[in-house]
């Protein structure tokens, strides 16, 4: 019987950290195969920045094909055919009922997820029926369900996430060190998480909730990274007007120093 480890996630987008963990599982013979289950709709995650499910699946396929074990690390779209929103327990039951005679399933997850397992649908059923392997996040000890799971203490750790990848792309940064070559190429070709789209989304959020200081700070940071000092200053000042104790005050001081220096520097008018 084949031992198959299921790695659930939105993979929005999939990055080198995901693949490194899957490679670790194969290399350390924790399973015969790792299957990345791409979630079409995660009930624990907001959807605004979620790329189309087919795009996320295609990126996962690309990343798996570029891994060190392309025959043992694969992506699956099985949840696309199941009821939505997708719940892990429903997928596990479907796989066990349809493939349980030839495959034995286990689960791979990050330390951040194990802390929320008791909020999932039927967590006790999952704990009782499927071995769970947990890889720690930096600085986040595994203290919940520690006696019910296997902690992979020596698994590779990365100081970036899908969220930080998106933020890097949206602010015009270089995400190549975090993404497989093929995935980076796919993102560029499909204009995913572009700086222009991110700025447009910020405008829409402010328009829908003009009294939210966090949105002005986020847009101000976007302007700040693009050296648009005047626009950044305006947004930070609006944020402080809404919330006098917010972090925007620090940005205002920095921008005023930059502008003061520029006004005095005859070589950089």
Higher pLDDT, 268 or 131: 131
- What is the Cα–Cα distance from 101 to 231, expressed in whole angstroms? 62
Identify the band that residue 44 occupies on the pLDDT scale cut at 50, 70 and 90: low
pLDDT in tens, 154-213: 999 988 999 999 989 988 889 999 999 999 999 999 999 988 888 888 899 899 999 999
- What is the Cα–Cα distance from 212 to 201, expressed in whole angstroms? 14
Q: How far is CA 73 from CA 19, 117, 165, 258, in A?
A: 8, 25, 22, 50
218 pLDDT higher than 70: yes
| pLDDT for res 117 | 94
Strand-strand pairing, 150-151 and 73-76: unpaired
Give mean pLDDT, residues 224-232: 91
Identify the band that residue 43 occupies on the pLDDT scale cut at 50, 70 and 90: low
Give mean pLDDT, residues 214-235: 92
Contact between residue 170 and residue 194 where contact means Cβ atoms under 8 Å apart: yes
Domains (range + CATH), the chain: 2-158 (3.40.50.620), 196-263 (1.25.40.10)
Which H/E stretch holds residue 257?
Answer: helix 248-264
| pLDDT for res 209 | 93
- What is the Cα–Cα distance from 13 to 20, expressed in whole angstroms? 15
Least reliable range by pLDDT among 5-14, 36-45, 154-163, 236-245: 36-45
Identify the band that residue 5 occupies on the pLDDT scale cut at 50, 70 and 90: very high
Contact between residue 252 and residue 240 where contact means Cβ atoms under 8 Å apart: yes
| pLDDT for res 266 | 47
Least reliable range by pLDDT among 94-108, 158-172, 231-245: 158-172
pLDDT in tens, 108-156: 999 989 999 999 999 999 999 999 999 998 777 788 898 899 999 999 9
- What is the Cα–Cα distance from 22 to 30, expressed in whole angstroms? 10
Give mean pLDDT, residues 17-37: 99
pLDDT in tens, 62-90: 999 999 999 999 999 999 999 988 899 99
What is the full DSSP assignment across 199-241? HHHHHHHHHH-TT-HHHHHHHHHHHHHTT-HHHHHHHHHHHHH
Give mean pLDDT, residues 98-108: 98
């Amino acid at each position: 019987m084949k031992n198959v480890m299921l790695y659930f996630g939105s993979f929005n987008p999939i990055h080198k950290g995901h693949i490194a963990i899957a490679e670790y599982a194969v290399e350390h013979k924790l399973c015969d195969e790792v299957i990345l289950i791409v979630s079409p709709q995660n009930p624990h995650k907001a959807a605004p920045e979620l790329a189309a499910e087919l795009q996320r699946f295609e990126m996962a396929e690309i990343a798996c094909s570029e891994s060190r074990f392309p025959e043992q690390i694969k992506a699956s779209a099985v949840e696309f055919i199941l009821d939505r929103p997708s719940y892990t327990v429903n997928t596990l039951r479907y796989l066990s009922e349809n493939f349980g005679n030839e495959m034995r399933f286990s689960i791979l997850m990050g330390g951040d997820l194990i802390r929320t397992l008791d909020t999932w649908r039927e967590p006790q059923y999952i704990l009782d029926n499927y071995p769970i392997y947990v890889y720690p996040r930096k600085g986040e000890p595994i203290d919940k369900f520690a006696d019910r799971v296997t902690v992979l203490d020596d698994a590779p750790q990365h100081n970036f996430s899908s969220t930080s990848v998106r933020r890097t792309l949206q602010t015009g940064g270089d995400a190549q060190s975090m993404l497989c070559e093929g995935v980076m190429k796919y993102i560029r070709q499909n204009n995913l998480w572009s700086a222009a789209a991110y700025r447009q989304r910020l405008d829409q959020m402010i328009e829908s909730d003009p009294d939210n200081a966090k949105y002005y700070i986020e847009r101000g940071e976007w302007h700040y990274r693009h050296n648009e000092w005047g626009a950044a200053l305006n947004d930070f000042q609006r944020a402080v007007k809404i919330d006098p104790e917010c972090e925007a005050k620090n940005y205002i001081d920095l921008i005023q120093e930059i502008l003061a220096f520029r006004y005095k520097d005859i070589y950089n008018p």
